[in-house]
Structure 1
Amino acid sequence: MINLNEDTITGAVIQRNAQAKDARLRELMVNLVQHLHAFARETQLTEEEWQQGIQFLTRVGQMCDENRQEFILLSDTLGLSTLVMALNHRKPAGCTEATVFGPFYVHGAPELPLGADIANGAKGAPCYVSGTVRGDDGRIVANAEIQVWQADEDGFYDVQYTGKDQLAARAVLRSDADGNYHFRSILAEPYPIPHDGPVGDMLEALNRHPWRPAHLHFLIRAEGHQSLTTHVFRKGDKYLESDAVFGVRSTLVADWVRHEAGTAPDGSRTDQPFYVLHFDFVLARAGA
Structure 2
Amino acid sequence: MSGDSHPAGAGTEAPIGPEQREVEDRLVETVLSSFDGTEDPRLRQIMQSLTRHLHAFVRDVRLTEAEWNAGIEFLTACGHITDERRQEFVLLSDVLGVSMQTIAVNNRAYKGATEATVFGPFFVDDAPQVPLGGDIAFGAPGQPCWVEGAVTDTDGTPVPGARIEVWECDEDGLYDVQYPDGRTASRAHLFADADGRYRFWGLTPVPYPIPHDGPVGKMLAATGRSPVRAAHLHFMVTAEHRRTLVTHIFVDGDPQIAIGDSVFGVKDSLITRFEQQPAGEPTPDGRDLTGRSWARARFDITLAPEGT
Alignment TM-score > 0.5, same fold = yes
**1:124-174 Cα deviation digits (max 9, x unpaired):** 011111110000010000000101110110111111112x21211011111
Question: For residues 187 and 224 of structure 2, what CA distance do their matches in structure 1 show?
Answer: 33
Q: Aligned pair 1:20/2:38, yes or no?
A: yes
Q: Aligned pair 1:112/2:137, yes or no?
A: no
For residue 304 of structure 2, the aligned residue among 271, 278, 284 is: 284
**1:80-126 Cα deviation digits (max 9, x unpaired):** 11111111101223211111111111122112221111111211011
Question: For residues 126 and 142 of structure 2, what CA distance do their matches in structure 1 show?
Answer: 23
Larger-gyration structure (1/2): 2
2:94 aligned residue: 76
1:150 aligned residue: 168
Question: For residues 167 and 215 of structure 1, what CA distance do their matches in structure 2 show?
Answer: 19
User: How many percent identity over aligned positions?
Assistant: 50
Moved more, 130-139 or 56-65: 56-65
Per-residue deviation, 1:76: 0.9
Q: Quick check: 1:68–1:104 contact (8 Å CA) kept in 2?
A: no
For residue 284 of structure 2, the aligned residue among 261, 265, 287 is: 265
SS of 1:34 mapped into structure 2? helix
**1:184-242 Cα deviation digits (max 9, x unpaired):** 11111011111111111111111011111111000101111111110000000011131
**1:221-264 Cα deviation digits (max 9, x unpaired):** 11111111100000000111311110101110111111122322
SS of 1:35 mapped into structure 2? helix
Question: For residues 77 and 155 of structure 1, what CA distance do their matches in structure 2 show?
Answer: 18
What's the TM-score once normalised by structure 2's chain length?
0.89
Question: For residues 250 and 128 of structure 2, what CA distance do their matches in structure 1 show?
Answer: 23
Question: For residues 259 and 234 of structure 1, what CA distance do their matches in structure 2 show?
Answer: 15
Number of paired residues? 284
Per-residue deviation, 1:7: 3.7
1:37 aligned residue: 55
2:237 aligned residue: 220
Question: For residues 192 and 182 of structure 1, what CA distance do their matches in structure 2 show?
Answer: 28
What one-letter code is carried by the residue in structure 2 that aligns with 1:284?
A: A
1:64 aligned residue: 82
Structure 2: stretches of 5+ with no match in the other structure: 1-21
SS of 2:54 mapped into structure 1? helix
RMSD of aligned C-alpha atoms?
1.3
Q: Aligned pair 1:89/2:143, yes or no?
A: no
Per-residue deviation, 1:63: 1.8
SS of 2:133 mapped into structure 1? coil
Moved more, 101-110 or 197-206: 101-110
Moved more, 214-223 or 93-102: 93-102
Structure 1: stretches of 5+ with no match in the other structure: none
Q: Quick check: 1:225–1:284 contact (8 Å CA) kept in 2?
A: yes
Q: Aligned pair 1:133/2:154, yes or no?
A: no
Per-residue deviation, 1:5: 5.1
SS of 2:255 mapped into structure 1? coil
Superposition misfits of 4+ residues, deviation over 4 angstroms: none
Moved more, 190-199 or 59-68: 59-68
Question: For residues 66 and 158 of structure 1, what CA distance do their matches in structure 2 show?
Answer: 15
SS of 1:100 mapped into structure 2? coil
